[in-house]
Amino acid sequence: MRYEYFIGTRYLMAKRRSSVVSIITVISVTGVALGVTALIVVLSVMGGFKKDLMQKILGTKAHAVVQMVQQEPMPESSSVADRIRGIEGVIGASAYVESEVMVSSLTGLGGVVLRGVSTDTVGDVSNLPDDIVKGKLAYLDDPGPLVDELSTRREREREEFMKRFEREAEEREQAKRERGDGDSKGLVLEGFELPEPLLAPLNEVSKSTEKKGATKKGVTKKDAAEEPAPKAPETIDLSDRALPEADDIPDFDDDMGVPSIFGDDDGGGPPSIFGDEEEEERGVPGLVIGKELAKSLAVGLGDEVNVVTPNGDLGPTGRMPRSRPFRIVGIFYSGMYEYDANYAYARLDESMDFLGVEGATGVELKTFDVEQAVGVADRVQAELGEGFEVLDWMELNRSLFYALKLEKIAMFVVLTFIILVASFSIVAMLIMIVIEKGREIAVLKALGATNGGVMRAFIYQGTLIGVVGTTIGLGLGVFICYLLREVGFPLDSEVYYISTLPVEMDPKEVALVVVCAIGIAALATIYPSIQAAKLKPVDGLRDD
């Protein structure tokens, strides 16, 4: 071992009489370790968020999109999709149409993006079929099975209600028979017993009637006897009547404007989806919406919503908006609030007919490897020619991923200041050692040690502090990331849309953190090392 390394190691921990130096050494190592740990954990968590966000975006959107240069409709979208499927690296292509519309229900209104897709090929470019949590994508082609299923469920619920109704009526009748007619506390009407609060006014009327036959002040008993006694009110007893059959139960009063829950929709309320015009309702096109949109509109499977588009026909006062009812046949959950609250899917041909366009907006494509999407997009551009524009997923989401990258850089710079603070501790420690070890440095230089040798001793000492602290921080950071990945840090899924904190370690970022930490520690030793090398032997031995 060279003497520079030996001296640097000996000076790293001072003796008992100079414990201040050793405390500063521990503080410096701890500061570097905490800085490295914080950098590794924060960058890994941000990398996890970026990966999770990218997976959700690429699960909903395709890896690349082909559009016309002038943003015009693409009339030959099917032939273009067939050409794209034959290009190397492409595993799926599907035409789509997209436009902003308004969707309204009985209780809500919102602006959404209507996307017309092909049910046969949309699964090749996105995860929409797998993201549907209620309903089916196939209902877009034919909502009839959904109507039949909901009708069957409604009929089953009606039968269960009637059974429960009859059972409760029989229990009330049995309870009445057990109490006896005289013990009844209420008026029984077809198996239902009126509560005592409702009978209180009737009892008051009965008591007041009885008092009319009593003797009043100033009236003789003879007059009271001649006065006819009041007739007692008749007791309404319907206990002998049989319970009504299920088919005889009347609907709600039509005058109230409330639809019946059992019979046909004769009231003045909104039409029932299972009324007499069920065959006509089968012709209503289907719509698949996000979970958050369904919550804001307060709708579910089988409900109808009204979709309004500004792309209408010209009228006397200008362009008139066009509206059409759609039936909710599916609800999807992508895990990203922006998509779940602002996107709705319908059939491609029905969307084109509703929007009044004669071609698709473009063609979406999916590549074999998302990292190679840029190269595949270039090959697709060369194959289709200048009339088409191919945009990969990074270009389509440039602003979002640029913001994430800028945020990661900002966090890296901010957390690096923790290491910078630790480096000042290294500077203070080395300056104190130079002042305290002035005599030993002078003796070394008198024995033939060069200025470079003295500098290397102190540089080695400060760098060793950085290496030790970085090693401890690296191990601690990797261990925390492992715990976060395996055990997980729970999050409120309603707020963050994820159940645990995502973690994704990047070896390049970890290596950059290690190099920066050791480099900062090494740079912090330059000034104290220069001061130690400039010390003359005469100045160090003058006082001895």
Q: What is the pLDDT of residues 497-536, one digit of tens each?
A: 777 888 999 899 999 999 999 999 889 888 888 888 887 7
- Model-level pTM? 0.65
Which of 363, 396, 429 finishes a domain?
A: 396
Three-state DSSP at 154 gives helix
The whole-number average pLDDT for the span 176-193 is 55
pLDDT value at 398 more than 70: yes
Position 192 scores a pLDDT of: 45
Question: What does residue 192 show for φ and ψ, rounded to 5 degrees?
Answer: -115, 135
Position 222 scores a pLDDT of: 45
Q: Which amino acid belongs to residue 155?
A: E
- 19-76: per-residue pLDDT in tens? 666 777 888 888 899 999 999 999 999 888 888 888 888 888 888 999 988 778 888 8
pLDDT value at 488 more than 50: yes
- Strand-pair partners of 318: 315
Say which residue, 240 or 321, is predicted with more confidence.
Answer: 321
pLDDT value at 124 more than 80: yes
Q: Are residues 303 and 408 in the same domain?
A: no
- 424-469: per-residue pLDDT in tens? 888 888 888 777 777 777 887 777 778 888 888 888 888 888 899 9
pLDDT value at 358 more than 80: yes
Position 441 scores a pLDDT of: 79
Residue 229 located in a structural domain: no
Query: What contacts 24+ positions apart, CB below 8 Å, involve 109-112?
Result: 109/297, 110/293, 110/296, 110/297, 110/341, 111/342, 112/289, 112/293, 112/342, 112/343, 112/344
Q: Are residues 406 and 508 in the same domain?
A: yes
CA distance 299 to 295: 7
Q: Are residues 531 and 406 in the same domain?
A: yes
Determine how β-strand 286-290 pairs with β-strand 192-193.
unpaired
Three-state DSSP at 96 gives strand
pLDDT value at 183 more than 90: no
Block residue for tokens 């191919």: 390
Position 182 scores a pLDDT of: 46
Look up residue 368 and give its DSSP letter. Answer: S
Domain assignment of residue 28, given as a range = 3-57+399-541
Q: At what angle do helices 398-436 and 438-446 cross, to 10 degrees?
A: 80
Position 491 scores a pLDDT of: 80
Which of 371, 396, 421 finishes a domain?
A: 396
Look up residue 110 and give its DSSP letter. Answer: E
pLDDT value at 411 more than 90: no
Q: Are residues 408 and 532 in the same domain?
A: yes
Q: Are residues 452 and 376 in the same domain?
A: no
For 543, the token pair is: 């006082």
Total count of domains within the chain: 2
Closest to 521 in 3D by CA, of 465, 475, 477, 454: 465
Q: Are 136 and 128 in contact (CB under 8 A)?
A: no
| Integer CA distances (angstroms), 393 to 124, 343, 374, in order | 16, 18, 8
Block residue for tokens 């070890």: 437
Position 481 scores a pLDDT of: 92
Q: At what angle do helices 507-523 and 19-60 cross, to 10 degrees?
A: 150
Residue 450 located in a structural domain: yes
pLDDT value at 126 more than 60: yes
Alpha-helix runs per DSSP H in 270-325: 278-281, 291-297
Which of 362, 396, 430 finishes a domain?
A: 396
Q: Are residues 304 and 371 in the same domain?
A: yes
Residue 225 located in a structural domain: no
Residue 349 located in a structural domain: yes
| Integer CA distances (angstroms), 488 to 329, 480, 495, in order | 36, 10, 17
pLDDT value at 384 more than 70: yes
For 30, the token pair is: 């701890």
Q: Are 447 and 439 in contact (CB under 8 A)?
A: no
Three-state DSSP at 361 gives coil
Closest to 63 in 3D by CA, of 336, 333, 348, 369: 369
Residue 169 located in a structural domain: no
Q: Are residues 421 and 332 in the same domain?
A: no
- The CA-based diameter of the chain, rounded to the nearest angstrom, is 149
- 316-335: per-residue pLDDT in tens? 766 778 889 999 999 999 88
- 294-312: per-residue pLDDT in tens? 999 999 898 999 999 887 7
Closest to 259 in 3D by CA, of 271, 247, 250, 249: 271
The whole-number average pLDDT for the span 95-103 is 92
Residue 339 located in a structural domain: yes
In 10 A of CB 211, how many CB atoms? 10
Determine how β-strand 322-332 pairs with β-strand 132-135.
antiparallel
- 248-262: per-residue pLDDT in tens? 444 433 333 333 333
CA distance 528 to 114: 67
Q: Are residues 325 and 378 in the same domain?
A: yes
Residue 210 located in a structural domain: no
Q: Are 159 and 151 in contact (CB under 8 A)?
A: no
CA distance 476 to 293: 43
Residue 207 located in a structural domain: no
Q: Are residues 75 and 113 in the same domain?
A: yes
